[in-house]
Chain A
Amino acid sequence: MLRKVIAAGMVCSSLFLASCGNETETASSNDALKNQRITVYTALEDDEIAIYMKDFKAKYPSIEVDLVRDSTGIITSKLLAEKNNPKADVIWGVAATSLLVCDQNGMLEGYSPKAISTIKPEFKDTLNSDPHWVGIKAWMTGFVCNKIECQKGNIPYPKSYKDLLKPVYKGQLIMPNPASSGTGFLTVSAILQNMGEKAGWAFLDKLHNNILRYTHSGSKPAKLAGKGECSVGISFGYRGCKQKKKGEPVKTYFPAEKSGWDVEANGLIKKSSINPAAKTFLDWAISTDAMNMYAKVYPIVATGEQVPVPDEDYPKNPSLQLAKNDFQWAAKNRSRILKEWARRYDGKSDPK
């Protein structure tokens, strides 16, 4: 028995060593093809990525793509952490505000992908002759309401930001924390940009009194509303429509003052030697085929093309719902806004 256990252990460890050995072997045999291997950081949803990558692989079978996927905040922090030793070649589908933070840190290289002219100016970098970031699609704030809970509590559906301040919503609202959530940040940023900073903070102060709690991610308020943990989740609109399709008792409203929004964008990482495959990837990522695929899962694409809306709750012409948004301002003030937000609302909301 003893011997068997030890023998089993030895077999295990030799297997492990053998597998390690194999890994290094394949790595070195791939050395010749190294130029064809790129690392792509993305915040796109996994189920989307699977569809897109199939197309890429079919078109460029010789390019090997190492995909690193995570939520916006995590991808951004990873990029900044690796600033002096960048691992990524390409950023694909990450919030434009985050790309601008990277750009302000001098991490991005200008590049004009082949189809750049098809992208509308408000969805790409226009300050540099070769844009440092190029948008692919946009997402925006929406209020996801639980029909059953609203009916039970006799709570009207909110139609505007102003509505949210009504006393009837006290303890009924959940919203994402802008420090971690892209959706949270774009919502706060839009409120500050459109109401003006002073009025904006005064509004957020009042809103804070009605908030049950802040969540880490942007989709969680919608999901919690769907489960009846709150009546209204401040989230992104598309999420609510998706949940409705799954059979959850939710209805999505978009604020009358127009929604905060951000663009999922692509960029090229500045490195001493840039892999040509990275540029090929960026060309493909805004090609007509790619844009058509984005349009299938998402209602607002950067070419400004009319896309069938996903649900009757969704605005008929989504681009009219987008509020005024200055990305440069947002990126430049991001850290200041987050600090001020934390000072006002973080940790001061302990239940009494």
Chain B
Amino acid sequence: MKFNFNKENLVRYFCFSVVLAYLLVGVAFPLVELVIKSLYNVSTAEAANGVLSNEESFVGIKNFIDYVSDESLFGSLINSIKIALTTTVLVLFISFWTAYALQRTQMKWKSFFRVVFMLPMFAPTMFYGLALVYLFGRQGVFTTGFFGAIPGFDIELYGPIGITISEMFYIFPPTLIILIVSFGNIDRRLYEAADALGSSKIKTFFSVTLPGVKYGLMSAFFAGFTLVFTDFGAPKVVGGNYNVMAVDIYKRVVGQQDFYMGATISIILLIPALLSFFADRVVQRKQTAGLSAKSKPFVPKVKPQRDWLFFGISSIVVVAIISLISIGFYASIVKMWPYDFSLNFSNYFFEDTAGSRGLSPFYNSLRLALYTALFGTILSFISAYLVTKSREMELFKKSISVLSLIPLALPGLVIGFSYIFFFNRPTIFGVTNPFSSIYGTMAILVLSNMIHFYTVSFMTAKTALQQLDNEFDSVSESMGIPFWTTFRRVTVPVCLPAIIEIFMYYFASSMATVSAVIFLYSPKTIPATVSIINMDDAGDQAPALAMCILIIVTNIVIKIISEVVLKKLKQRRAVH
């Protein structure tokens, strides 16, 4: 018995160390390296033989001062804030009323709406921009008035307008999810009380509904703001000459080879993300404090007038989403927009396009998404398990908990960029860098995505594990069953729905993300999203759209499979 206990502890320590090492190498070390680089710069010295040698030297906050005094760079910061604010406010208005429609009315086709509302999540952000070109670009359907059928209008897509519309599609699903949850958390009894007191509909809305979702709105605001602020795909495609910070980093590094300013911009890009991250933590705490275990969900009554009104509102959103996806698909199979509208699938072969790599980027992305989902799910679940189900070992638990939250505040670009520095170092602490061997391989892409989407997965796993009664573990412990047996026979099977959800989240996110991988791919591992950027850069927009469509379809298929598996699981459970 005693020996057994020791052995268990040994295994626990081992698992803790693995997880801690993973988070240190994946999050902490690269971040520290990035911060250091932002305080350095190169000075070029010309040697006697005329050869320039670059000496890296400490410059303190000089890079930051340069940043603020550089009109163009500082302008980007202002632009990024403006775009993020406008987009988030506009979207919150839409997602609030659609969440209301789903949670507070009895409109028809709710489940259909719910599915379509989530569709934008499956696409890379470049997709919205690329598809918008065919609606509002110079040769777009609306700009040309359906090719001369009616008077057209030009919204000057390339610039803030294009970015804002694209980002609105991008952040609509996540803000909607937050608000749906928030609406669901309002206690039904509050409405019953308001009814009993004879309060008017409008008054109830302002005194019950709005205060009830107040924290949800704030959370949604922070989430939306951060996503837009740090997004790279949409402004890259439709930004035109309108500079934003995320694109600045890319331009500085790729175009001007200025890694130090790149690091500086990364740090500045982190600030609003960090602020909103901490603000959100505060809000979340307040929200959960207001929730009582006895809260009962609200069941709306049928009211045809109101229900049809919200049906109309939701339909507008659905039409917008579906028409964007359809135009994207249509443009990808048209031969030569706007001069030859005959249809064929030649754009799906990717032969005469930038890179001419055929479908290999798509297969790379599939592999990347699978590996990320597999290893990401395993590691995030195990670390959540260790943190929730271990007694003692406080130091491990604390450090893992803290490190696990950081990735949520890290934009993908910052992760990718910090990896360039860290994994390219020939030495760390004076010894050969053992991690540099993964630079340029699939492994570094997998690791960057595992970290990029880690926090949400970790939290999902943690929530599921917390709902699982601790009794299981204490009973098996007292029976002398080692914890890994309980883990395998009880914990994992019970948490399987959450595990599948995490897997699906990792997979879809890795398929669609571009920001973390843009700095890390090598020609052999080039992912589909990077090839989309390259094709768009070269002006091959139709094939770029075709690649987007492949990603969207893959994600939808995976989603359907996971839904089927979840359903089967539920049925099994109902039988037992």
Contact = CB atoms under 8 A, between A and B. Distances in A.
A350 B242 contact: yes
B356 A350 contact: no
A222 B492 contact: no
Contacts of B540: 223
A247 B336 CA distance: 9
A248 B336 contact: yes
A9 B355 contact: no
A284 to B, nearest CB: 21
A87 B437 CA distance: 12
B493 A2 contact: yes
Interface in B413-463: 420, 424, 426, 436, 440
B35 interface: no
B188 interface: no
A116 interface: no
A69 B337 contact: no
B539 interface: yes
Interface residues of B, number: 64
Interface stretch (A161-169, A211-219, A317-325): A211-219
Interface string A2-38: 1001100100110010000000000000000000000
Contacts of B539: 215, 217, 219-224, 226-227
B251 A16 contact: no
A65 interface: no
B426 A84 contact: yes
B474 interface: no
B52 A347 contact: no
Contacts of B568: 1
Contacts of A259: none
A279 B21 CA distance: 42
A3 B23 CA distance: 30
A16 B336 CA distance: 42
Nearest to B440: A87
Contact of B240 (A84, A148, A346, A351): A351
- Which of A6, A85, A227: most chain B CB closer than 10 A? A227
Nearest to B74: A347
Contacts of A213: 158, 240-241
Contact of A342 (B72, B337, B541): B72
B393 to A, nearest CB: 26
A302 B336 CA distance: 35
A347 B156 contact: no
A184 B393 CA distance: 59
Contacts of A348: 71-72, 75
B139 A229 contact: yes
Interface size class of chain A, counting residues whose CB lies under 8 Å from the partner chain: 35 or more
B564 to A, nearest CB: 11
Interface stretch (A52-60, A75-83, A134-142, A285-293): A75-83
A74 B254 contact: yes
A70 to B, nearest CB: 7
A244 B128 CA distance: 29
Nearest to A233: B539
A148 B339 contact: yes
Given A13-B374, A179-B256, A213-B158, A46 B537 contact: no
B338 interface: yes
Contacts of B51: 104-106
B255 interface: yes
Contacts of A106: 51-53
Contacts of A12: 370, 374
A228 B424 contact: no
B257 A76 contact: yes
A343 interface: yes
A215 B537 contact: yes
Given A217-B537, A219-B538, A342-B72, A351 B259 contact: no
A350 B256 contact: no
A347 B76 contact: yes
Contacts of A84: 426
Contacts of A70: 523
Interface in B228-270: 240-243, 251, 253-257, 259
Interface of B: 51-54, 71-73, 75-76, 79, 133, 137-139, 156, 158-160, 240-243, 251, 253-257, 259, 336-340, 352, 354-357, 370-371, 374-375, 378, 420, 424, 426, 436, 440, 492-493, 496, 522-523, 534, 537-541, 565, 568-569, 572
10 contacts: A2-B496, A2-B569, A68-B522, A85-B424, A221-B539, A227-B336, A342-B72, A347-B73, A350-B241, A351-B156
Interface of A: 1-2, 5-6, 9, 12-13, 16, 45-47, 67-71, 73-74, 76-77, 80-85, 87, 104-106, 148, 177, 179-180, 212-217, 219-224, 226-230, 246-249, 335, 338, 342-343, 346-351
List 6 A-B pairs, minimum CB-CB distance, nearest first.
A223-B539, A180-B255, A347-B72, A220-B539, A179-B255, A349-B241
